[in-house]
């Protein structure tokens, strides 16, 4: 069996060649690792941003629906005025929160689907969900405001 040093000498490799090769592969390995790590970090950040956009919109819709249901429940049971006022105030707060955050959430959803202008999802939101929520608001306000203001 031939010794490793003899094989290196026969191949014409010197200690300098081995050191240069080791340094080159270390630098190349570092560059590849940093690039892949940066790409993975950016991909994960984009995933989290998209998830937050969908979650934020979903939270607003369901909180608004739940608060409206509580107001309706108080009205149907003829609950005391303090309970109705408390629930109506909570509903008003989520109504304001919706109007405050909806545009930011729509822009984040645009980013999610990769469009710069209005997306088909926005059309569904504006033509499908918003009219339903508007009718819910109208009904809630029409039925609870006279009782609360009395």
Residue extents of the structural domains in the chain? 4-149
pLDDT-derived band of residue 31, with 50, 70 and 90 as boundaries?
very high
pLDDT, greater one: 148 or 71: 71
Mean of the pLDDT values across residues 125-146?
80
Is residue 8 pLDDT above 70, yes or no? Answer: no
Helix axes 130-149, 15-76, angle to 10 degrees: 50
pLDDT, greater one: 22 or 18: 22
Residue 78 CA from chain centroid, whole number: 39
pLDDT of residue 150: 63
Rounded Cα–Cα distance for residues 145 and 65 (Å): 18
Rounded Cα–Cα distance for residues 53 and 32 (Å): 32
pLDDT, greater one: 40 or 9: 40
Other Cβ atoms less than 10 A from the Cβ of 119: the count is 17
User: Residue 115 — φ and ψ, nearest 5°?
Assistant: -120, 145
């Amino acid at each position: 069996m031939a010794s490793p040093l003899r094989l290196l000498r026969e191949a014409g490799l010197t200690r300098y060649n081995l050191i240069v090769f080791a340094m080159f592969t270390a630098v190349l390995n570092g560059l590849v690792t940093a690039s892949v790590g940066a790409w993975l970090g950016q991909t994960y950040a984009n995933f989290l941003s998209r998830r937050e956009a969908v979650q934020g919109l979903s939270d607003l819709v369901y909180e608004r629906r739940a608060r409206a249901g509580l107001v309706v429940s108080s009205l149907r049971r003829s609950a005391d005025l303090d309970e109705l006022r408390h629930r109506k105030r909570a509903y008003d707060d989520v109504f304001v929160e919706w109007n405050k955050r909806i545009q930011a959430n729509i822009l984040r959803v645009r980013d999610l689907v990769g469009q710069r202008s209005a997306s088909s999802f926005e059309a569904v939101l504006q033509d499908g969900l918003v009219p339903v929520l508007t009718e819910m608001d109208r009904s809630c306000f029409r039925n609870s405001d006279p009782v609360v203001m009395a």
